[in-house]
Structure 1
Amino acid sequence: MPRKHRLEFPGACYHVINRGNYRTNIFRTEGAKLAFEACLFEACETYRWRLHAFVVMRNHYHLALETPEGNLVTGMQWLQATFANRFNKLRSEHGHVFQGRYKALVVERAGALGQVCDYIHLNPVRAGVCTVEGLEGLRFGSYWYLQRPTRRREFMVLETALVEAGELADTPTGRRCYLDYLTWQVAVGPAGKSKAYTNMSKGWALGTDRFKAALLESPDVPDSPRAWGIVGAREVRNQRQQDMRARCLNALRKNEENVRNDPKSAGWKVAIARFLKEREQADNRWLGDSLSMGRPEAVSTYVGRMKRGEIDDSVYRLLKTTNV
């Protein structure tokens, strides 16, 4: 199976995650955590990354990175290879340190990036390592640096979490308010709902549908869904289908009211269904729901009738020749 695609562009933000090989506790000692932090900071300086948040746990790490020069892959190759070499040399060992390739989710700057920062800061709390109040004493993470402005490095942009939490100032008062905000997150907010918060580490992109749709316009996005992996492929495919559906409606001057009220077997609906099946490999169930055409079997029947000439296909031919 081909490797999952890495979408890179100047200014891209990512949620990067990786674990120790076989989930081993590669960061179980303070020395290992210090070594990884040193490599991370070197990578940020060398590749001119902006670090919005990070945490180093016993067997994995999380990063919220921004790449002004669009060089995630090169920088991550250096980071992981350099740490692995130093780690193995220190222990006179050989072999893989990390569990395969790292995961890198593209993150929308507004909204989603702040949520990722919160997610990363609260990772030790979810793991039972400490309480929210105990985060300040947890040395290997961005929350520790957030509370100590004089210890921060030039590439750290830790105020992102404060701004996204409600335009909080990077002051003692603002940072205290952020602590209260994280406490609320754990108690009643999104962070307290593990099922919803798990999505911060799933998929291929984090953000609004509009943000994802804009990413899909990039010529760097592969057409083959296999390149995205199972979860990413499904989301990419659904987004493209939704986008093409909207374009078809616009080309035919139809709207959502027409979708709801026109007959299930309306010729224009069947035309769009046939077009999307051929162009985007849309399945009958999705077409039945999104075009109000009824059960999947009904969609298949209507499209088959059009192919046999029993339903006028002039609208379908129009879609085929129109740049939708």
Structure 2
Amino acid sequence: MPRNGRVVLPNYPHHIVQRGHNRQVVFAGDEDYSRYLSDLQELKEAFGIKIYAYCLMSNHVHLLADPGDSASGLSQFMKVLAARATRYRNKLEGRSGTLWEGRYKSSVVESNNYLLACCRYIELNPVRACMVADASEYPWSSYRARIYQSSGHEWLDEDPCFIGLADTPSLRRERYVDFVRQAISAEELRFIRAALQRNQLTGTDRFVDEVERVTGLRIECRGQGRPRAAMKK
């Protein structure tokens, strides 16, 4: 079967997932996670990429990244990031070969309606996997860095929807915590997963129509309406 074409747009957030080859373990210990985050920080600066959210699981990675003005820079950024992790793992284990699946998945996210929903989806991965009871307990996602403003995570970018939650940083964090603690509906969960799996858009039908007009492409995956919003100021 032919592969679905990936839609990449400048100045839009993209929900990205990259999995280990045959779902093999990518991060075996704390040093592995730390090394990847160090590379992520360095390369986002080098390529002019904004990172709004991340979650590192043992055999896959979720990122919410905005490529800025150069859409082509996103694929190069992911290529270099993946290559560094592969060299590190191969050297550590005295082996050769691939670490990742050949092609990462990505979905352009409609900022106004789905950006915070995708952040929440990403940061709740460890909770859905029954690894922790609360997102704040997991050390390898952006949630703890976002809520507690952890030292060393100053490089994490604040997306405009998060900033729009309130006038003060403390109230933004409080409202985002409440938003994350709301249950994600089964419909929203299926929609985000399907858009990502098919390299399609995470957004409403109106957003899909707009992207079709701009790109001249026919978009298969259609929206399901706005997700339940976080409380705004």
TM-score range, shorter chain: 0.7 to 0.9
1:90 corresponds in structure 2 to 92
Shift of residue 49, structure 1, vs aligned partner: 0.6
Shift of residue 94, structure 1, vs aligned partner: 1.2
Instruction: State TM-score, norm by structure 2.
Output: 0.82
> Closer, same or farther in 2 for the Cα pair 1:161/1:210, shift >3 Å?
closer
> Closer, same or farther in 2 for the Cα pair 1:161/1:28, shift >3 Å?
farther
Deviation string 1:66-122 (CA, Å, 9 cap, x unpaired) is: 110222111111111121112111211111111231100011111211110011111
SS in 2 for 1:205: coil
**Quick check: 21-30 or 168-177, which moved more?**
168-177
Are residues 1:217 and 2:203 paired? Answer: no
Are residues 1:198 and 2:196 paired? Answer: no
Name the CA distance, whole Å, in 1 between partners of 2:125 and 2:106: 17
Is this contact kept in 2: 1:7–1:220, CA < 8 A? no
Name the CA distance, whole Å, in 2 between partners of 1:20 and 1:143: 23
Shift of residue 124, structure 1, vs aligned partner: 1.0
- CA RMSD, aligned part only? 2.5
Deviation string 1:152-211 (CA, Å, 9 cap, x unpaired) is: 5554223556346xx1355334323322332223xxxxx1x3353132122200111121
Bigger Cα Rg: 1
Give runs of aligned pairs for residues 65-104 of structure 1, distance below 5 A. Answer: 65-68=65-68, 69-70=70-71, 71-104=73-106
Is this contact kept in 2: 1:105–1:205, CA < 8 A? yes
Higher helix share: 1
Is this contact kept in 1: 2:50–2:157, CA < 8 A? yes
Deviation string 1:136-158 (CA, Å, 9 cap, x unpaired) is: 23221111211233625554223
Is this contact kept in 2: 1:118–1:161, CA < 8 A? no
Is this contact kept in 2: 1:136–1:143, CA < 8 A? yes
1:235 corresponds in structure 2 to 221
| Runs of 5+ consecutive residues of structure 1 not aligned to the other structure | 186-190, 224-231, 239-324
**Percent identity for Structure 1 against Structure 2:** 25
Name the CA distance, whole Å, in 1 between partners of 2:15 and 2:180: 19
| Runs of 5+ consecutive residues of structure 2 not aligned to the other structure | 224-233
> Closer, same or farther in 2 for the Cα pair 1:99/1:150, shift >3 Å?
closer
